């Protein structure tokens, strides 16, 4: 029998970082539900550093699944059949033994409500054939399981063996009928896990996935502080808001991946991998950022191209008024550029329109989408 997690009582709740008390938050790849916080896996680069709860190693629930579900589907930014959904991607791993009963329970609640939204589960932990059968039993939601695999073998950086993720991916792929399994190859850190052997291993693993998504390291100040405190060599000399992966490094990696796994689909963006796996257009509107599409298979490119359209003027105007955009939006053939919206409202607009929405004060440059300037430590 699986263990489950305790509900945090009111006194303990006051100790939880305020930014984690609200379990619903719009993150880049979707509206995210996180009513369980705590993880024992200790990956050095975990986003939990940003919420100041890295030391909370025992998963605990802020409320019941039913309460969390109700709060989620009544959230102001949740749109049935449209909003991409993510479960437990901020403060725990959804497949930890204590957490996964809740993961299955929530998937069931979403599915039984007749919702057809994309739902993303990201894990690096163990997935069993029984888990796969539960995933296969869902009939409405479009479920994607992304398995985080890095190939990093320095236990200071990543105490959990990558073989666990590799086995989970193989199991998921072998049993998949109604859901899709993605190789989430990340974080790729120059000098740490980008050798020819590392790339060859990842490319071999890609044969056991419906698609591969790769990305660099999210190297923020809080994570750099942790690296310094633990004596872990710092991969970069500066921190950044976006993920770090230098352009030449990306090109080299793609060439070597293609040589080992010719024709095996690989994407820079999570939503593109999900879109390909489910044969749907990219819900994040990356098609406008044309340089992202050079790895995309022709059939998928055609799917995105057929669905691509300039945002409806009346709908855009009304969204700008409701969300509180400052001044007039600028619509280019790549993105809608707005001023005065925080990330959550920009993502809501992006998913409503299927078109990228950028902040005028944080410009995206050609060929640098989601990529920060990187200065490597040699
Ligand atoms: S065509 Fe471009 S936007 Fe669409 S899935 Fe492929 S890479 Fe992503």
Kindly state if the Cβ of 210 falls inside 6 Å of ligand 1: no
CATH code (residue 46): 3.20.20.70
Is 110 contained in some domain? yes
Answer yes or no: do 194 and 325 share one domain: no
**Ligand 1 center from residue 291 Cα (angstroms):** 10
Cβ density class 230-259: b for 16+ within 10 Å, e for less = eebeebbeebbebbbbbeebbeebbebbee
* DSSP codes joined into one string, 249-268: HHHHHHHHHHHHSTT--EES
Answer yes or no: do 227 and 88 share one domain: yes
Distance, in Å, from the CA atom of 362 to the CA atom of 353, rounded to the nearest integer, reads: 20
**pLDDT value for 13:** 67
Mean pLDDT calculated for residue range 183-196: 92
Using DSSP, state whether 52 is helix, strand or coil. coil
Predicted confidence (pLDDT) per residue in 94-124, tens digit: 999 999 999 999 999 999 999 999 999 999 9
Q: Out of 34-43, 48-57, 139-148, which region has the weakest mean confidence (pLDDT)? A: 48-57
CA 3 to chain centre: 26
Predicted confidence (pLDDT) per residue in 223-282, tens digit: 788 778 888 777 777 766 556 788 888 999 999 999 999 999 999 999 999 999 999 999
Answer yes or no: do 211 and 343 share one domain: no
Answer yes or no: do 264 and 320 share one domain: no
Q: Ligand 1, residues 182, 211, 275: which to mutate, most atoms within 8 A of Cβ? A: 275
Residue 363 pLDDT level (bands cut at 50, 70, 90): confident
Q: Is the pLDDT of residue 376 over 60?
A: no
Q: Ligand 1, residues 291, 293, 299, 334: which to mutate, most atoms within 8 A of Cβ? A: 293
Of 240, 266, 284, at which residue does a domain stop?
Answer: 284
pLDDT > 70: percent of the chain:
91
Could you tell me which residues come within 8 angstroms of residue 246 by beta carbon, excluding any fewer than 6 positions away?
A: 190, 374, 376
The C-alpha angle with vertex 132 and arms to 128 and 134, in degrees rounded to 5, equals 115
Is 367 contained in some domain? no
Show the domain range for 208: 10-284
Using DSSP, state whether 305 is helix, strand or coil. helix
The rounded mean pLDDT for the chain is 90
Q: Which residue has the tokens 């995309």?
A: 296
Kindly state if the Cβ of 296 falls inside 6 Å of ligand 1: yes
Kindly state if the Cβ of 369 falls inside 6 Å of ligand 1: no
Domain count, the chain: 2
Nearest of 270, 2, 278 to residue 128 by alpha carbon:
2
């Amino acid at each position: 029998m699986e263990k489950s997690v305790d509900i945090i009582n009111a006194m303990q709740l006051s100790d939880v970082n305020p930014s984690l008390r609200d379990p619903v938050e719009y993150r880049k790849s979707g509206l995210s539900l996180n009513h369980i916080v705590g993880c024992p896996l200790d990956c050095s680069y975990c986003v939990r550093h940003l919420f100041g709860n890295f030391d909370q190693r025992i998963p605990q629930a802020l409320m019941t699944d039913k309460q969390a579900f109700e709060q989620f589907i009544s959230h102001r930014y949740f749109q049935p059949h449209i909003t991409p959904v993510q479960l437990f991607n901020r403060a725990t791993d959804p497949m930890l033994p204590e957490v996964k009963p809740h993961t299955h329970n929530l998937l069931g609640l979403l599915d039984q409500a007749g919702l057809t939204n994309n739902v993303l589960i990201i894990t690096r932990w163990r997935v069993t054939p029984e888990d796969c059968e539960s995933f296969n039993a869902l009939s409405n939601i479009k479920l994607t399981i992304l398995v985080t695999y890095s190939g990093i073998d320095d236990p200071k950086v990543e105490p959990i063996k990558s073989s666990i993720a590799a086995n989970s991916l193989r199991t998921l792929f072998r049993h998949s009928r109604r859901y899709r399994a993605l190789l989430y190859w990340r974080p790729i850190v120059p000098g740490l896990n980008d050798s020819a052997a590392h790339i060859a291993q990842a490319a071999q693993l890609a044969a056991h996935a419906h698609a591969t998504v790769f990305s660099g390291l999210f190297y923020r100040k809080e994570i750099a502080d942790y690296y310094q405190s633990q004596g872990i060599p710092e991969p970069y000399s500066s921190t950044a808001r976006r993920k770090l992966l230098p352009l030449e490094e990306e090109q080299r990696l793609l060439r070597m991946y293609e040589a080992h796994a010719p024709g095996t689909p690989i994407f820079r963006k999570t939503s593109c991998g999900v879109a390909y796996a489910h044969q749907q257009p990219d819900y994040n509107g990356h098609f406008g950022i044309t340089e992202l599409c050079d790895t995309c298979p022709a059939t998928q490119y055609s799917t995105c191209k057929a669905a691509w359209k300039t945002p409806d003027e009346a709908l855009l105007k009304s969204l700008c008024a409701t969300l509180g955009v400052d001044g007039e939006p600028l619509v280019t053939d790549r993105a809608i550029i707005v001023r005065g919206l925080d990330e959550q409202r920009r993502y809501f607009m992006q998913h409503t329109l299927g078109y990228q929405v950028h902040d005028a004060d944080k410009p995206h440059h050609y060929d640098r989408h989601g990529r920060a300037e990187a200065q490597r430590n040699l």
